[in-house]
Structure 1
Amino acid sequence: MAEPNAGRTPKMRAQDVSVFYGDKQALKDVSIDIHDDRVTAFIGPSGCGKSTFLRTLNRMNDTIPSARVTGHIELDAEDINSPDMDVVQLRARVGMVFQKPNPFPKSIFENVAYGPRIHGLGNSKTELAEIVEKSLKRAGLWDEVKDRLGESGISLSGGQQQRLCIARAIAVDPEVILMDEPCSALDPIATAKIEELIHELRGRYAIAIVTHNMQQAARVSQRTAFFHLGEMIEYGKTSEIFTNPTQRRTQDYITGRYG
C-alpha cells in the first residue's frame, strides 16, 4: 500500500496526552498521529492505558467525574478539548464501537436511524430509510436483516449486534471510528466478519482499534502503537513493530514473555 505523503496533516493528532483518575496517573505523555487512510492499532497488556487513550479521542473520559486529561488533541487541527467544541458534535464526527455489543432496545431500523434523526441528517422517511440501508450495507449486515428491520436489535446474534453497532456509528457520517476491543466478546466466525469489515471501511474513515489480540492487530492495521504501564513505548509500521521492534519491552511482549 502506498505510503501517505509525509507532509500530510493527520486526521487526529495527540501531543503529550496524560490522563489522571483522581491522584492516579493512568496515561503518561502520549503523542500519536492518526491518519485517515489507514488503521491504527493500540496493543499492550491489560490495564496498560490503551483504552484510556482511545477514550480521550472523543472525550469519553468526560463521563468519569475523577478523570482529568492534559495535553493537546486535535481533529482536523481543531482542539477537541476547547470550550468551543460541541461534545455531541465531536462524538458524531468521532464514533465509538465498544467491547460488548450494545444495541439500543429498539428495532434494527431505529438503532441505525436514531443518530441521523437527532443530528437532523434525514429530513424525510425516505431519506432516513436510505441512510439506514446504506449504513447496514457498509456494515455488511443488510442482506441478513433487510426483511426484519422492525425486529429488536437485541434479537440478533452477538456478531450481528456488533455489526449493527458499527452501522449505527457510521450512520451519522463520522470521520473517525474508534473501536475498543470490538471482537473480544465474539466467536471466531463473527470476529473474521468484523475484521473483513474493518478492511472494507479503511480509507473511508480514520480507524483506531484497541485489541489485546496481536494477530488481529497484525491482520487489520497498518500502524501499531505498543502501550505498557501507561506509556506508549513504540509506534510504527505494523510490519516493523511485529518483526523488528526497536524497544526491548515491545520485543518481550510480542514474543510472549509477559502480557
Structure 2
Amino acid sequence: MSAMPDQLSRMTEAMPEVTQTTRTPKMAARDVHVYYGETHAVKGVNLDLHQDEVTALIGPSGCGKSTFLRCLNRMNDTVATCRVEGSITLDGKDIYDNKIDVVQLRARVGMVFQKPNPFPKSIYENVAYGPRIHGLAETRLDLDEIVATSLEKAGLWNEVKDRLDTPGTALSGGQQQRLCIARAIAVNPEVILMDEPCSALDPIATARVEALIEELKGRYAIAIVTHSMQQAARISQKTAFFHLGNLVEMGETTQIFTTPREERTRDYITGRFG
C-alpha cells in the first residue's frame, strides 16, 4: 500500500535509527543483470547486505525486486530461461562459482516465501528436516534441542510445544509462516531472505512476524521484499527502491522516506504511481 504525503510523518516516527559505519558487507551484488530469455528483468544492480541489519526492497509489482532477491541464494537456477550476469558474493566469495555447493549455499542463505509452505509433515519434522539432512545433529537429543531452540527463536514454541506431532499444515496462516521461519533458521543460516512474508497474513499475524524480524535482526543479515511502505518504515534500517528493473535509490530508511534524492522514489512513496 502506498503512503500519501500526510502519512509520511507518522511512518517515520517509528523508523529504527541507523548509525553510519563503514563495514564489510555480508553479501554484495555488483552490476547484476537478470534475463528471462530476451526479457531484461534486472539491470545493473549494485547492493550490499550487512549483518545485523534489515534491508527492505520496495517498488511496484514487476519491478525486479523478487527476481533480484532470488538471485541471492540462486533460486533462479530452477528457471530454465533465466540467466544471471555480474557478481554476487557471500563473505567475499562468488556464489555463482562452479565450485559452490548450492545446497550448502541455501543453508547459509535461507528463504521465506510469500505464501507459507510448510512440508506435509509434523511440526517437529518441518523444523528437523534441514538439520537432519545437513548432519547438524549427532543424536536425537541434539535434534530435539535444535527444534526447540528454532521454534523459540521464531516465537512459536509456547504455542506448539505440546503438539509437535501434529501436521504443520494444521496451524493458522501466521503460525505456518513462523514455522517456515523456524525451519529456515534451524540450519544456522547467516542471511535470511523474505519475499513478502506478510502479504497473506492478517494484521495481528503480521505484527507477530514483524516483531520476530526485529528480534532476528541481531543474528542475521535480512532482506525483505515488501509492498507496504509502512512495514518497510517500521522494520528496516536500509531501503532499496526498484523501478523497471533498475535500483533507483538505496539508503538509510529514514533518508529514503523523508528526503529521497530521486524524483521517482518520491513519487512512489507519496503514491503518485505504483
TM-score (norm 2): 0.93
Q: Residues 20-99 of structure 1: matches in 2 within 5 Å?
A: 20-99=35-114
User: Of the candidates 222, 231, 236, which is equivalent to residue 246 of structure 2?
Assistant: 231
Deviation at 1:4, TM superposition (A): 5.3
Deviation per CA, 1:133-182: give whole Å up to 9, x if none.
Answer: 00000000000000000000000000000000000000000000000000
- Is the Cα–Cα contact under 8 Å of residues 32 and 45 in structure 2 kept in the other structure? yes
Establish whether residue 175 from structure 1 lines up as the match of residue 205 from structure 2. no
The amino acid of 2:251's aligned partner reads G
Distance across 2 between alignment mates of 1:143 and 1:31? 41
User: Of the candidates 16, 19, 42, which is equivalent to residue 3 of structure 1?
Assistant: 19
Distance across 2 between alignment mates of 1:77 and 1:28? 22
The amino acid of 2:95's aligned partner reads I
Distance across 1 between alignment mates of 2:54 and 2:207? 16
Distance across 2 between alignment mates of 1:138 and 1:223? 23
The amino acid of 1:90's aligned partner reads L
TM-score (norm 1): 0.99
Deviation at 1:2, TM superposition (A): 5.9
Identify the residue that residue 123 of structure 2 maps to in structure 1: 108
CA spacing shift, 1:11–1:4, aligned 2, 3 Å: farther
Unaligned runs of 5+ in 1: none
Distance across 1 between alignment mates of 2:232 and 2:199? 13
- Is the Cα–Cα contact under 8 Å of residues 57 and 225 in structure 2 kept in the other structure? yes
Deviation at 1:123, TM superposition (A): 1.2
Query: 4+ residue runs of structure 1 moved beyond 3 angstroms?
Result: none
Distance across 2 between alignment mates of 1:213 and 1:48? 15
Identify the residue that residue 215 of structure 1 maps to in structure 2: 230
Establish whether residue 14 from structure 1 lines up as the match of residue 29 from structure 2. yes
Identify the residue that residue 247 of structure 1 maps to in structure 2: 262
Q: Residues 191-206 of structure 1: matches in 2 within 5 Å?
A: 191-206=206-221
- Look up the SS of the partner of 1:147 in the other structure: coil
Deviation at 1:37, TM superposition (A): 1.6
Distance across 1 between alignment mates of 2:30 and 2:224? 19
The amino acid of 2:72's aligned partner reads L
- Look up the SS of the partner of 2:218 in the other structure: coil
- Is the Cα–Cα contact under 8 Å of residues 18 and 237 in structure 2 kept in the other structure? no
Distance across 2 between alignment mates of 1:103 and 1:230? 31
Which fold has the larger relative contact order, with Cα–Cα distance below 8 Å and residues 6 or more apart in sequence? 2
Distance across 2 between alignment mates of 1:111 and 1:30? 35
Distance across 2 between alignment mates of 1:66 and 1:33? 26
- Look up the SS of the partner of 1:252 in the other structure: helix
- Look up the SS of the partner of 2:194 in the other structure: strand
The amino acid of 2:101's aligned partner reads D
- Look up the SS of the partner of 1:240 in the other structure: helix
Distance across 1 between alignment mates of 2:95 and 2:19? 27
Distance across 2 between alignment mates of 1:3 and 1:46? 31
Deviation per CA, 1:82-113: give whole Å up to 9, x if none.
Answer: 00100000000000000000000000000000
- Look up the SS of the partner of 1:159 in the other structure: helix
The amino acid of 1:130's aligned partner reads E
Distance across 1 between alignment mates of 2:138 and 2:228? 41
